[in-house]
Structure 1
């Protein structure tokens, strides 16, 4: 029972209906999957593009806001520089004590007013190149002069180096805290004071009498972040500023300040110098950047790609549901419909199996108007024809048996034939008729190969046969036919079709030499790679160009039936024998010239010597 079920399952597995169902489902699955993937990634790319376009507009707005802020800070720094007391502090070392006190007091007043008018400024510092420093915060004013440790710390950091190279241009820095600019002699002990406060720093230098001073404005980081981050309504994204080296200078999470930011490679290698926006996908995030030229910084926004595809999760669920439902429906409907279509084919298969078991003449009574109907009609016709052919074959076989019996009854015994020739030969000897004796002997030698078994003989045997034939013909033509052989001895041992050359020699005598009372026939055989090239020529009357073309066309027509002596039955039959045994390319080629003779040429493959 188990074996029967296994065979049944195997038969169903390889049935045409099941194969069609599986093929249809595979094609459906492939098309649906490809189209779904195209739609999915197409929508994802649209969402990414929309997000990029939206962020690019936001970047432009942030660029404008930051530019306004930069101009405001620049205006504050310029107003402070215009104050004479601040410029006089460059020469603080050469002032009298009273004058220096007045100048410092005025500077503190200006700083305090700037802090009061601009709430975003946390502190203002003044650094002279002579070691004189003052600093104003909302809580206190500090002054320091000739303190080497503090002076060296400021003048050795990046602020001072960039300021020297920037001239009087406002330069922006990030990553500093309030402790980097603390010049107080004692550090406050409160926990609030000891917690570092990150700054956004703007600095400008001015010069007088070969001396310089640097004005440093430190702004509150939270206020600065709100300038470009207040309208950020995308969750789980990072929006921050990096300097020219890619280091974070402003971030909502102050612990990340000073770390390396994720800047697109296109920022450092832009296609055009004017390109400010760049975007790339990296590590599951869409990273976009915008260059803020006024500050020399880059605004970076990192958005997880998962945020883009969140909007199409519902679409993906719908697509998967539709896919499962469509696949199940397609499987059921295709199986039903394909089985219905292939039912006539199954019936035809059953009838063919019965015919294979010997039940001939079976037909299928189905009237269909499609290709299966044509197939069934042709099968019915073929079935009837097979039955008719079998009956006809049986009739022919019976007729052949009758003919073979008659042929056996009328067959001439070769021994009787030779004994009769020998009797005639001895009678001629007794009456001393030498010419009759020689003729009968030659005839016996000529007829002997006809009774040999086998299709092949050696070239030597074929040459002997032709020589005997020429002897007999010379009795008729008074010795007028001369036969020349140009055949190398090593060629004579190759096999050749029996009686292949004699009809061609006979054709040369009959058509080429008949009106000349004789002539010369030359037979040449030479080896050429794996073939033997034969040439049979005569010096007879030849033929005209029209006659030559007619014979050539007759030889090339495989279905031609030459009749009459003029077309050369022997020539045609020999050509057909060569083509049937060795192929059309070995057919006879004929050349002839009127009153000059005719030459036949053909090649046959070398048959292995026995």
Structure 2
């Protein structure tokens, strides 16, 4: 297989985006998706950053507020516990209450202690359960506000402790009537003889839920607390953060710590750490919501792009289909079908050019047909003119020998000249030289001077160097014949001039001083009817010369006749030099 055929076969094999339809769809999809992807990429990171900052700031603010509130309540409990254990005040009455055996006296001390506790709780509304108890037996030493007989704060998770004060992490209230989360403080009371006496103080059962529920960021959160030894003292997520396990988070004010399925926010407050656990799916819910909306928007945009691609394809395909139909009709000679314009400027312009091309092809085909018909006519004429002169030529040759035998020299000369003219005419349609045409013309003029009963003069002038130049055969005689036929009389004169016209053309001019011709007579000279041609001398005439040079040279040759009645006639013939001459 040659390289050209390989390239042709390669062009014939379909490849990706081979059709116009696939390219239109690809371009429209790219023009829709690329800006969408770029905008989505920038928007995603911009909006994600905004959402992250929004959620992060909200959680941070809530964490700081919650940790501050819890720490404040712990300090408040410590202050209340200190007032309830003051050795110089309630401590003396508590000692007297515990050591008194008299029922009435014990009742008086009890009321005094109650009044003191009520005063403290009144001034500190966030205080809840208060108990005095013995740490060795967990027995209640002084009942304040319920019927509990014993408690065990030692089972509670500790945040930190010092100087006989223990701070507990969040836990359920020790009150049998409440399951609320509370903070508590356990403080030792230094009363002589009662070294194991402690006061236990809880926050109000509604306080912690109020603190934890304030300023919620709008997503579920689980909390945990770690003690001063970085161990978890309270946890709402036992799967990841079990009680008692080590907890050493990376405390950051900017970004949360990421775990397996959660984000961890921490806030260090004094000796303990407050942390919030937010599931990733909830933390990213708002971001994912925006992504879903953007995905829906992208799918809608894609569907719209496909719709526009289909619409554009139909807009382009219909005119292309019509244009393809016209091309197929042209292949079967459908040159005059009615074109349907799609009313799209570019396609209308292409159809206009196609119509011009189609009409031009039609004209060229008709011209080829006319030329072929003319050529066939010339061939027939050539055969006809070759057949008849053969008989005449043989007859004249016999007459010439008879004249010579009878010593008729003038008749012999006349017959010899006529025979030469007829013999030359038998080769019409070929190629001769300027010299051969002039020799024929001299013989023809000699015959005509004998034939006509008037005298005329002929002047033949040829430019130097033209005698051997090839020219079409039998073109000078019909021009001179026309001058003799159209009114040349006594003292008539015919001028024949042949010269170069530029570098590539020959100009032949035949002038006479005869009676001239009218426009109608000039038109008849070019008529194609055989009857009109037979009127012209030997039946050849200017019409033959015109058809012959037209068939041979086309539009590059011309014949021009200028004549008016009474003013003579001028015939100018112009045609290209033969190729061998031009190449010299």
TM-score bracket, normalised by the shorter chain, equals 0.3 to 0.5
TM (normalized to structure 2)?
A: 0.41
TM (normalized to structure 1)?
A: 0.39
Please identify the structure whose Cα radius of gyration is greater: 2
